[in-house]
Amino acid sequence: MTRCENPALLKERSAIDRRTALLAACLLVRSVSLCGGQESSVFVVRERTPEPVFTLPDVNGRPVSSKNFAGKVAVVSFGATWCASCVSELRSLANLQTRFVDDVVVYFVALDGRGEKDVKPFIEKAGVRLPTLLDPHMSVAREHRVRSIPETVIVNRQGTIVARAVGPRVWDGKEAQDLVQTLIKR
């Protein structure tokens, strides 16, 4: 009897294959449900959490501190260049920044594992005009309790995370602009 024909090993391999298939199915269902985020009746989930202070490099290697957000509304979107739904919202995030240039800062935090090697060429080629920070080890994403991408946190002028959007959104649409306008007035 060869090793592959051993009934105990075959049974164990079958159990592993079933668990792997179940895990893959769960991840697929979760990712599909997150992609429908814009269709949700809730644009963002309200919360009230102090924002962790962080410093990350931008695509040119310059450090950017979250302390720079002080006194402004911050929209911080976590994603990756290989994530189609993350990339799809970059232009609307840039448009949001343009609309509220004096009162809002918008950042894309790229979680790509190879950091600048992948992100900088992508951003340049795509013509994205949005400040981009690098978090290849996802340390800041973990501090912000990011569990999926795209995921965006909105920070008020006082440095408190007041809302979170899980899944893609249209950031230059009426709902986002109304939310930001409300936060600017506070």
For the stretch 62-90, pLDDT in tens is: 999 999 888 999 999 999 999 999 999 99
Partners of 73 in the β-ladder: 104
Q: What is the mean pLDDT of residues 47-54?
A: 87
- Cis amide leading into 150 (omega within 30): yes
Note the pLDDT of residue 114.
Answer: 84
Show Cβ contacts of residue 77 under 8 Å, excluding neighbours closer than 6 positions.
86, 89, 93, 106, 107, 108, 109, 150, 151, 152
**Average per-residue pLDDT for the chain:** 82
21 pLDDT higher than 60: no
2 pLDDT higher than 70: no
Note the pLDDT of residue 33.
Answer: 38
Note the pLDDT of residue 37.
Answer: 42
Q: What is the mean pLDDT of residues 145-174?
A: 93
Note the pLDDT of residue 126.
Answer: 86
d(CA 32, CA 36): 7
148 pLDDT higher than 70: yes
Among 16-30, 93-107, 122-136, the minimum mean pLDDT is found in: 16-30
- For the chain, what percent of residues have pLDDT higher than 70? 77
Note the pLDDT of residue 16.
Answer: 54
